Amino acid sequence: MIRADRLSKNFGKTEAIRDVSFCVEKGEILGFLGPNGSGKTTTMRILSCHTPPTKGTARIAGYDVTRQSREVRRKIGYMPETFGLYDDMTVRSYLDFIGELKGLKHTLRRERVNLVMEQTGLKPVSERLIRNLSKGYRQRAGLAQSLVGDPEILILDEPTVGLDPAQIKEIRTLILSMKGVKTIVLSTHILQEVAAICTRIAIVSLGRIAAIGAPEELAKKLAPEERLAVLAGGNQDAITRILKDISGVLSVKTQQTDSPHQMYHVHVKKGCDIRKDISASLIKAGCDLYEMYPLGMSLEEVYMNVVMGGE
């Protein structure tokens, strides 16, 4: 549905993004995750045909964003990161105006506007002037305008920024309700957000895609090391020493637990499976091994690792 091939964008001498490639299949929700200034907005602007890339191409629904931008724009709904609305219009007349620009005929337009206001919870304020709306309603109006044309593809740049937790949850629920129906690309700097909504994540840092994949997959792939939890009984120092002596072990940390036995977290070099060695060594030393299992690394740890590592 969306295919970006080596997109680059320069502003004078500064590179906003470089060699950004990705594709999004129909019905997927791809989340761009990265710190502020990492090039998320630039990528979104290229996809929405607002600004052309310096190099590279992007195709949306088979159309090129620079050469066939009008066809592309017929297929998309776009919500910019910071956007304004016309203060002197009512919510309904604003959505009607956008619907007209999207090429909707009169009766269909009225239907769509009503439906979208229903979906986004704008019904109670439909006749109010936009200048009198709260931040939450403005944000919803921004999302609503992207939905008016019933687009196959949604491009949402930081859709929940500046909202309170309850509003964030509502917007997320709304986006989730379109999962599988619409193809969605969204950007955020909030990790929980992508983890909660997206089917795939692209972690961006300094204008490049550092990693892309499904959340669990990404956590596994990007973890710099593997971890094992070992529950063992016996002399604590002796066990720590034994574990440290096994080849491939980077460090050992003791953890407090409720059980009478001691829990050890063993950090192991990536790609080494040393479970056999651990059990053999412990038993040889006369210690008791009660439990042993791999510990996954959380997405948050992975993200911090990628982003901090890149700086």
Partner 1 sequence: MWFGIYKKEIKSYLQSPVIYALAGIFLFLMAYFTLGMIVEFADIYRDFNMRRMYGMDEMNVTQWVIRGFFSLLNFLLLFLIPVLTMRLLAEERKNRTFEILTSCPISDGDIVFGKYLAALTLILALLLASLVYPLLVERFSQPEWPVILTGYLGLVLTVLAYLAFGLFASTVTENQIIASFLSFSGLVFFYLVGDVTSSKEGWLGKISSELSLRQHSLSFSNGVIELRDVFYLLAFAGFFLFLSLEILKIRRWKA
Which residues here bind partner 1, judged by CB under 8 A? 11, 45, 48-52, 70-71, 73-74, 76-78, 80, 82-89, 97-98, 100-103, 142, 145-146, 149
**Separation between Cα atoms, residue 168 and residue 148, nearest integer Å:** 21
Task: State the first-to-last Cα distance of the chain, in angstroms, to the nearest integer.
Answer: 32
- For helices 135-147 and 106-120, angle between their N-to-C axes, nearest 10 degrees: 140
- Report the distance separating Cα 186 and Cα 168, nearest Å: 14
Token pair for 217: 């997959």
Contact indicator for 153, 181 with CB cutoff of 8 Å: no
In the complex, minimum distance from the CB of residue 182 to partner 1, in angstroms, rounded to a whole number: 15
Smaller CB separation from partner 1, 10 or 279: 10
Q: How far is the CB of 170 from partner 1 (least distance, A)?
A: 21
Q: How far is the CB of 78 from partner 1 (least distance, A)?
A: 4
Q: SS3 for 78-122, per residue?
A: EECCCCCCCCCCEHHHHHHHHHHHCCCCHHHHHHHHHHHHHHHCC
Nearer to partner 1, 22 or 94 (CB): 94
- Using the minimum distance from each CB to partner 1, give the nearer residue, 120 or 146: 146
CB nearer to partner 1: pick between 102 and 265: 102
- In angstroms, the CA 240 to CA 252 distance is 7
- Distance in angstroms (rounded) separating the CA atoms of residues 172 and 189: 15
Amino acid at 282: L
User: Of 100 and 300, which has the nearer Cβ to partner 1?
Assistant: 100
* Residue whose C-alpha is closest to residue 265's, from 291, 247, 285, 298: 291
Do residues 99 and 113 make contact, with C-beta atoms less than 8 angstroms apart? yes
Edge-to-edge strands, sheet with 63-64:
14-24, 2-11, 55-60, 63-64
Q: Tell the smallest beta-carbon distance from residue 211 to partner 1 (Å).
A: 28
Cβ-based nearer residue to partner 1, 27 or 80: 80
- Closest to partner 1 by CB, 99 vs 215, is 99
What is the closest distance, in whole angstroms, from the C-beta atom of residue 44 to partner 1 in the complex? Answer: 10
